[in-house]
Amino acid sequence: MQKISLAIHGGAGTILKEDMTPELEKGYLKGLEDALAAGYAVLEEGGTSANAVKAALVILEDNMLFNAGRGSVFTKKGVQEMDAAIMDGKDLAAGAVAGVRNVRNPIELAMEVMRNSNHVFLSGKGANDFAIKQGIKLEPDEFFFSQFRYDQWKQIRDSDNYSLDHTHQQLEELMKDKKFGTVGAVACDCNGHIAAATSTGGMTNKKYGRIGDSPLIGAGTYANDITCAISCTGHGEPFIRSVAAYDVSCLMEYKGMGLQEAMNEVVNIKLPKLEGEGGMIGVDAAGNVALIFNSAGMYRGARSSDGTNYVSIYKDNV
């Protein structure tokens, strides 16, 4: 019998238990559980994997704790510019947006690009115009304001630094207990079709219209029924350079690797050579899931009709 499965992430990075308060930890776990429940409900009702990943991401985008949609980080100019992508493994349909503003759920806009445009990737003002034309929900700037992201940005806005919302260098101290992240989901539905979706506010203090791996088909997001559906999180530049999500698919298609083995090769062997910190979640058309990261933690969760059901944050659990 076809296994249905959903896996989600809420970002990977230097996420350490000692930096977390019990309340914050609870908040993250609850956010992940809510997203799993929403996405899995779609699969249980016989819905498509594309609708399931979208449903999970809408919940995470609406949750202030995650760096996507409402909780997006501030750019150098003090605004939010969001990126998102979705891909359907059934027919290789894909939709993506980059640098959009005031869109409540960028993943809905990406879905709209996939389903109701002749294009795959829209950016900036054009993407916003398309959102208005399609009746996608917009919100004022205040809706996206969060004090901790503002404080996080204030500390570096006068510098040339930009920061992964998770980790790093001189920002490590500053970022403690504010470990955050891009969100993603992968799913396998009752017809054995798979899909992937990723949504992000990108990196704090980013400028020049910087775009990461998340909305790039093949880098941060990819799905193909014959191999896998993958959503990545981490320092976007190395993920782009290694075409990380598609590389997993290639290792499966051309080298005959299994999902777990292929993901492990990319996350733990190839990406570290480019100092690529982060992780990814994956599913194949048999409903097998894998969640792999080379950082200290990754907000994550999985649920499947084989009884798998968990949410987790640090390296040592599940």
Catalytic residues: 182
> Which residue of 81, 213, 277, 284 would you call a contact of ligand ASP, by CB under 6 A?
213
On the CB side of 19, CA atoms within 13 Å amount to 19
Tell me the closest approach of the beta carbon of residue 95 to ligand ASP, in angstroms: 18
Classify 9 as helix, strand or coil: strand
Tell me the closest approach of the beta carbon of residue 212 to ligand ASP, in angstroms: 2
Q: Give the containing element (helix H, strand E) for 8.
A: strand 5-13
The closest of 213, 217, 207, 224 to 259, measured between CA atoms, is: 224
Which span (52-60, 87-95, 119-127, 210-218) binds ligand ASP, by CB under 6 A? 210-218
The answer to the question of residue 234 lying near ligand ASP (CB under 6 A) is yes
The closest of 73, 75, 71 to 205, measured between CA atoms, is: 75
Distance between first and last Cα of the chain: 25
The answer to the question of residue 182 lying near ligand ASP (CB under 6 A) is yes
The answer to the question of residue 181 lying near ligand ASP (CB under 6 A) is yes
Residues in binding contact with ligand ASP, number by CB under 6 A: 16
On the CB side of 87, CA atoms within 13 Å amount to 27
The answer to the question of residue 99 lying near ligand ASP (CB under 6 A) is no
> Which residue of 47, 89, 236, 238 would you call a contact of ligand ASP, by CB under 6 A?
236
Which span (23-31, 155-163, 196-204, 288-296) binds ligand ASP, by CB under 6 A? 196-204
Both tokens of 259, joined, read 């999902």
The answer to the question of residue 75 lying near ligand ASP (CB under 6 A) is no
Q: What is the edge-to-edge ordering of all strands in the sheet holding 183-188?
A: 121-123, 93-100, 82-88, 194-200, 183-188, 5-13, 297-304, 309-314
Tell me whether residue 130 or residue 293 sits nearer to ligand ASP (CB atom). 293
The answer to the question of residue 71 lying near ligand ASP (CB under 6 A) is no
State the DSSP string of 59-85: HHHH-TTSSSGGGPPP-TTSS--EEEE
State the DSSP string of 78-128: SS--EEEEEEETTTTEEEEEEEE-SBS-HHHHHHHHHHHSS-SEEEHHHHH
Q: What's the alpha-carbon Rg for the chain, to the nearest Å? A: 17
Both tokens of 90, joined, read 């059934």
Tell me whether residue 174 or residue 257 sits nearer to ligand ASP (CB atom). 174
Binding mask 147-166 for ligand ASP (x = CB under 6 A): ------------------xx
Which span (40-48, 52-60, 116-124, 195-203) binds ligand ASP, by CB under 6 A? 195-203
> Which residue of 31, 47, 212, 276 would you call a contact of ligand ASP, by CB under 6 A?
212
Contact residues for ligand ASP (CB under 6 A)?
11, 67, 165-166, 181-182, 200, 202-203, 212-214, 220, 233-234, 236
